[in-house]
Amino acid sequence: SRSISENSMWSIQKRFENGSFVISCPAYGYKNENKKMIIVPEQARVVKEIFNMALSGMGGEAIARVLTDKKIPTKKGGSWTSSTVNAVLTNKTYTGDVIFQKTYTDDSFNRHKNCGEKQQYVIENHHEAIISHETFNLVKEIIAWRRSENNIVCGSGKYNKLYAFSGKIRCGECGSKCKRRIIYQHNKAYGIWVCITHLEDIHACSQKSVMESYLKISFLQMLNKLKAGYVQMLTPLVESLRGVNNKDGLNKVIELEEKKLKLQEQEQVLSKLLAGGYIEMDSYYLESNQLKTEIDTCLKEKLKLSNSLNGNLTHLNEVQKLQRFVSVTEVFSEFKDEDFLDFVDDVVVKSRTRFLFILKCGLELEEEVKETWHASHMVTE
């Protein structure tokens, strides 16, 4: 039976490699016909609408409400939720590409998400696309921007990562994330952070490990400097962000949306002309590609402008929060995970004692600590 199982797996792997594997349950918007994935037109229109709503700035819950109000069912006939909407927005299948072996079954027949344990197979142009790669990537950027990076478990009031620095320490030499390690010196344990690339190959990156205590000390130094000079540093920034003229930007977003809709209408007219035999296929493809290029340009400009407007508002809220925080605290002498997670997006390691803090309010502040082994008394396990 093991031999039969192995032969079966070998056969499946080969079909993964050559792209002939048939997905038993295609994504919403597709169906199988003669062992090929083809578009379901009415569902494809819904998929395009979902992506367009996401590009306009709507979140998963808002999109789900629109679809529910329109009485549009999911693939299984149920109601849309933020999860089902996000499943559509993050599914690369809609670009015409397919990824095989996203999950795998172990020897005990338990199914697992493939997080690198097994090889994945990406087949480009596997089937007809519903949306362009550029649209998919634009939406991906929006989703990444919208997601909070503060690692808080909703409703629990606790942070779901073991360490406040997890995922936030970045190597200034190669750009890789840093990983926590424990070293033992003089019968004591100390936390250090090491570049992942350096761990794998010291010749690929020469950045040495940094003491966790140095990261904590430099963060406290930064907070105390902000406290001492928040009137000179933060107050002008607040006033500057408040003075950003958003009205013109919002009008431009509306103009771009209207232009995009007109271009999409032209696409529909072009399709009808082709269907009616009024234009040749070559002319259709030429005009269609030009319209798609113009639509993608509109979407890019709109995304850039929307991110700018939203970014200004986000930075204003964050800098006001930081201003209130540093103004009411007498002195920062104890490192607290929640303080770091509240205000810091990333820390770039410049050297073993020099760090660049990238704050959520948009500020980038560099701190340097004096290298001394005694600083390690602040390390907590």
For residue 271, which phi and psi values (nearest 5 degrees)? -65, -40
Structural element, H or E, at residue 357: strand 354-359
Closest by CA to 100, choosing from 28, 37, 23, 8, is 23
Contact criterion met (CB below 8 Å) for 85 and 64: yes
| pLDDT value for 348 | 97
| Beta-sheet strand order (sheet of 188-195) | 178-185, 188-195, 210-211
Would you say domain 2-146 falls under CATH 3.20.20.70?
A: no
| pLDDT value for 197 | 93
Amino acid found at 135: T
Long-range residue pairs from 257-263, CB within 8 A, at least 24 positions apart, any chain: 257/56, 257/302, 259/298, 260/295, 260/298, 260/299, 260/302, 263/291, 263/294, 263/295, 263/298
| pLDDT value for 124 | 79
Looking at the DSSP assignment, which residues form a beta bridge with residue 188?
A: 185
Total residues found in the chain within this entry: 381
Percentage of the chain beyond pLDDT 90 is 34
Amino acid found at 6: E
SS3 state of residue 216: helix
| pLDDT value for 11 | 53
Task: Give pTM, 2 decimals.
Answer: 0.44
| pLDDT value for 361 | 86
| pLDDT value for 352 | 94
CA distance 77 to 205: 52
User: In the chain, what are the domain boundaries?
Assistant: 2-146, 165-381
CA distance 379 to 381: 7
Residues 6 or more apart whose CB falls under 8 angstroms from that of 206 comprise 173, 198
SS3 state of residue 78: coil
Low-confidence ranges of the chain (pLDDT < 50): 1-2, 4, 7, 10, 16, 19, 148-161, 245, 311, 374-381
pLDDT tens for each residue of 103-157: 555 555 566 565 555 656 677 778 889 999 888 888 887 777 666 433 433 333 4
pLDDT tens for each residue of 64-110: 999 999 999 998 889 999 999 999 999 888 998 887 555 555 555 56
